């Protein structure tokens, strides 16, 4: 790969820039340069009408005749925009010799700098460049940005610039300032500007500043990360991940999801996985408190949904007891993700009238109401059930569920490595062992599990008999 261009925004106010060429292309360049406040000298034997008018007004300087290196005197920047490749090359060579930055229109090879495509909203500018590799692509992207960036962004930027000193005074801490701005932008102010209500926007800004306590108290957002595919995150989760100063995450929160978080957020893994290194819940509580009390925005990121076997409730109780503000963002829980990605419609008509989310965690399993769980016309979704599979089978059958009730295990649901093992309640433990199913996996018991045979769409088809494991 060739080295990328280094982007710059240059202050041209009062600085001389030489444009060689007197046609329409040169005129467009001169127009942009004048807008940026440059003192433009145009060198060309003749000028097209607009350029000529500007020269007559004294708005630009005209150097007549054929290119002479003396035109470069006093210039900071040079643009060659003639229709003669030979002249453009001569200009480029002369500029290089004087270490002046030169751009040759439509010739990336001899240009020392490129002029990017740009989108402008007041003081806010977005510049797009492909480094000459794919100008059409850069242009298409520019057009897209032009459509997507709200026209009032410029006013917003101007408003913030006007109040910069006040903002700094109210929030000396950059993190607090950033939080305030995030909240401001998520509020009514942008809409007021979009409606053209400038006074309203000013008032909204004043009110927001007045409301903001010099707040040093942190905040914890308990966020569901879903089953791992970033596409299954909620927009709110994504926004908070972009705001986080600190992220305390489970092992189940995938690398792909974490990659979407604010780059400079501190990431701390507090994963708890059966049998492996274990961060005690008390330690997680202590970490949340420590970071919140330091005034940080903490995202406590949990696999699936924070309130489904995620101990989210305990964490909120702890935060409440310690006076830390919090919020909760739901996530797609494993049962829903696994069902969707395995093709198991949880409440398929005629098969099931209810779904139960059940923990098969060893201590909990002893106290489950097996008689109710064994009743028909319902779908059971067991979390943390791989190790408990033989016992689940034994108890359900002992309490009257038919041994040939369909059952499915979904391992790594919604991940590219997803596997589905499908069989009867009776045979599933043997089948799962034969296929070496490991954690995380979700167990479905109920007639709907059989539908995965026909409705599966993601990854490999369900595994049904141990002999076919390698097929
Ligand atoms: N709060 C999480 C559940 C945490 S308990 C949620 O709402 O999904 C952990 C259990 O969730 C695992 O033992 C497993 O049974 C299940 N699980 C989580 N992610 C899974 C996945 N991608 N595929 C299958 N099961 C998963």
Does residue 304 line the site of ligand 1, with CB under 6 A?
A: yes
pLDDT given at position 217: 66
Q: Name the one residue in this structure whose structure tokens are 């391992």.
A: 411
Which residue's alpha carbon is nearest to atom 18 within ligand 1? 334
Over 50: is that where the pLDDT of 323 sits?
A: yes
Dihedrals φ, ψ of 217, to 5°?
Answer: -75, 135
Over 50: is that where the pLDDT of 36 sits?
A: yes
> Among candidates 381, 372, 380, 468, which has minimal Cα distance to 421?
468
Choose which residue among 254, 273, 383, 411 to substitute to test ligand 1 binding: the one with the highest number of ligand atoms within 8 A of its C-beta.
383
Average pLDDT value for residue range 229-235: 92
pLDDT given at position 129: 92
Does residue 413 line the site of ligand 1, with CB under 6 A?
A: yes
Helix (H) or strand (E) holding 348: none
Which tokens hold the place of 419?
């596997």
Ligand 1 geometric centre to CA of 383 (Å): 6
Choose which residue among 304, 357, 441 to substitute to test ligand 1 binding: the one with the highest number of ligand atoms within 8 A of its C-beta.
304
Ligand 1 geometric centre to CA of 441 (Å): 7
Higher pLDDT, 362 or 103: 103
**Which ligand 1 atom sits nearest the alpha carbon of residue 335?**
8
pLDDT given at position 271: 74
Does residue 333 line the site of ligand 1, with CB under 6 A?
A: yes
- For residue 304, say whether it is annotated as part of any ligand binding site: yes
How far is it, in rounded angstroms, from Cα 287 to Cα 318? 12
Ligand 1 geometric centre to CA of 252 (Å): 8
> Among candidates 28, 133, 81, which has minimal Cα distance to 92?
81
Catalytic (active site) residue 213 = no
How far is it, in rounded angstroms, from Cα 349 to Cα 347? 6
Ligand 1 geometric centre to CA of 304 (Å): 7
| Cβ neighbours around 70 below 10 Å, total | 10
Which residue's alpha carbon is nearest to atom 5 within ligand 1? 309
Over 60: is that where the pLDDT of 78 sits?
A: yes
Which one of the listed residues 229, 245, 250, 302 is annotated catalytic? Answer: 250
- For residue 345, say whether it is annotated as part of any ligand binding site: no
Average pLDDT value for residue range 437-444: 95
Q: State pLDDT tens for residues 117-153.
A: 899 988 899 999 998 888 889 989 999 999 888 888 8
Dihedrals φ, ψ of 354, to 5°?
Answer: -155, 160
| Most confident of the following: 94-98, 166-170, 258-262, 322-326 | 94-98
Percent pLDDT > 70 in the chain is: 95
What sign does the CA torsion over 194, 200, 205, 208 have? negative
pLDDT given at position 1: 54
Ligand 1 geometric centre to CA of 55 (Å): 72
> Among candidates 244, 173, 239, 247, which has minimal Cα distance to 212?
173
Over 80: is that where the pLDDT of 253 sits?
A: yes
CB 441 within 8 A of CB 463: no
Average pLDDT value for residue range 61-82: 97
Average pLDDT value for residue range 351-355: 96
Q: State pLDDT tens for residues 146-175.
A: 988 888 888 889 899 999 888 888 887 788
Average pLDDT value for residue range 107-119: 92
* Mean pLDDT taken over the chain: 91
> Among candidates 397, 401, 417, 421, which has minimal Cα distance to 409?
421
Average pLDDT value for residue range 292-301: 93
pLDDT given at position 83: 94
pTM over 0.85: no
Q: State pLDDT tens for residues 387-417.
A: 999 999 999 999 999 999 999 999 999 999 9
pLDDT given at position 274: 44
How far is it, in rounded angstroms, from Cα 400 to Cα 370? 9
Higher pLDDT, 289 or 212: 289
**Which ligand 1 atom sits nearest the alpha carbon of residue 302?**
1
- Give the E-state strand segments of 245-353 in sequence order: 246-249, 266-269, 297-302, 325-329
Which of 64-73, 125-134, 377-386, 413-422 shows the lowest per-residue confidence on average (mean pLDDT)?
A: 125-134
Percent pLDDT > 90 in the chain is: 70
Quote the Cα angle for 129-135-141, to 5°.
65
How far is it, in rounded angstroms, from Cα 48 to Cα 43? 12
Does residue 383 line the site of ligand 1, with CB under 6 A?
A: yes
- For residue 265, say whether it is annotated as part of any ligand binding site: no
CB 22 within 8 A of CB 44: yes
Quote the distance between the C-alpha of residue 33 and its chain's center. Answer: 35
CB 426 within 8 A of CB 449: no
pLDDT given at position 3: 85
Does residue 418 line the site of ligand 1, with CB under 6 A?
A: no
Residue 245: pLDDT band by 50, 70, 90 thresholds? very high
Average pLDDT value for residue range 65-74: 97
- For residue 25, say whether it is annotated as part of any ligand binding site: yes
**Which ligand 1 atom sits nearest the alpha carbon of residue 360?**
15
CB 17 within 8 A of CB 77: yes
Q: Classify 10 as helix, strand or coil.
A: coil
What single-letter DSSP state applies at residue 415? S
CB 216 within 8 A of CB 295: yes
Catalytic (active site) residue 272 = yes
Over 50: is that where the pLDDT of 470 sits?
A: no
Which one of the listed residues 107, 182, 197, 272 is annotated catalytic? Answer: 272
Which residue's alpha carbon is nearest to atom 6 within ligand 1? 304
């Amino acid at each position: 790969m060739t080295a990328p261009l280094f982007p710059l925004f240059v202050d041209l106010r009062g600085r001389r820039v030489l444009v060689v060429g007197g046609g329409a292309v040169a005129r467009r360049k001169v127009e942009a340069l004048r807008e940026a406040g440059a003192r433009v000298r145009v060198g060309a034997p003749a000028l097209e009408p607009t350029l000529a008018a500007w020269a007559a007004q004294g708005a630009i300087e005209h150097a007549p005749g054929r290119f002479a290196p003396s035109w470069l005197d006093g210039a900071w920047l040079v643009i060659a925009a003639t229709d003669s490749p030979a002249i453009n090359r001569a200009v480029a060579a002369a500029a290089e010799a004087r270490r002046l930055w030169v751009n040759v229109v439509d010739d990336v090879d001899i240009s020392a700098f490129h002029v990017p495509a740009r989108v402008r909203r007041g003081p806010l500018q977005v510049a797009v460049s492909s480094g000459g590799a794919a100008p059409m692509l850069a242009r298409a992207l520019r057009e897209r940005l032009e459509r997507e960036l709200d026209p009032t962004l410029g006013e917003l930027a101007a408003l913030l610039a006007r109040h910069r000193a006040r903002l700094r005074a109210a929030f000396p801490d950059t993190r607090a300032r950033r939080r305030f701005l995030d909240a401001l932008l998520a509020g009514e102010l942008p809409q007021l500007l979009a409606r053209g209500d400038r006074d309203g926007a000013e008032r909204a800004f004043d009110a927001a500043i007045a409301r903001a306590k010099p707040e040093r108290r942190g905040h914890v957002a308990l966020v569901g990360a879903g089953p791992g595919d970033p596409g299954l995150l909620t927009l709110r989760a994504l926004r908070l991940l972009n705001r986080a100063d600190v992220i305390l995450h489970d092992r189940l929160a995938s690398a792909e999801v974490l990659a979407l978080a604010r780059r400079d957020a501190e990431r701390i893994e507090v994963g708890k996985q059966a049998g492996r290194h274990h961060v005690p819940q008390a330690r997680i509580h202590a970490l949340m408190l420590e970071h919140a009390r330091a005034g940080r925005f903490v995202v406590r990121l949990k696999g699936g949904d924070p309130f489904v076997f995620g101990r989210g409730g305990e964490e909120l109780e702890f935060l409440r007891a310690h006076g830390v503000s919090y919020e909760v963002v739901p996530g797609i829980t494993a049962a829903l993700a696994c069902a969707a990605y395995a093709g198991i419609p949880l409440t398929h008509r005629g098969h099931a009238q209810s779904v139960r989310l059940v923990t098969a965690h060893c201590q909990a399993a002893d106290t489950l109401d097996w008689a109710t769980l064994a009743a028909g016309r319902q779908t059971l979704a067991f979390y943390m059930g791989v190790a408990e599979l033989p016992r689940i089978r034994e108890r359900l059958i002992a309490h009257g569920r038919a041994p040939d009730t369909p059952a499915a295990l979904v391992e790594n649901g919604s991940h590219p490595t997803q596997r589905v093992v499908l069989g009867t309640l009776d045979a599933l433990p043997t089948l799962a062992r034969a296929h070496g199913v490991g954690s995380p996996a979700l167990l479905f018991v109920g007639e709907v599990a059989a539908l995965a045979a026909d409705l599966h769409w993601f990854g490999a088809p369900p595994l049904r008999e141990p002999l076919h494991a390698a097929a």
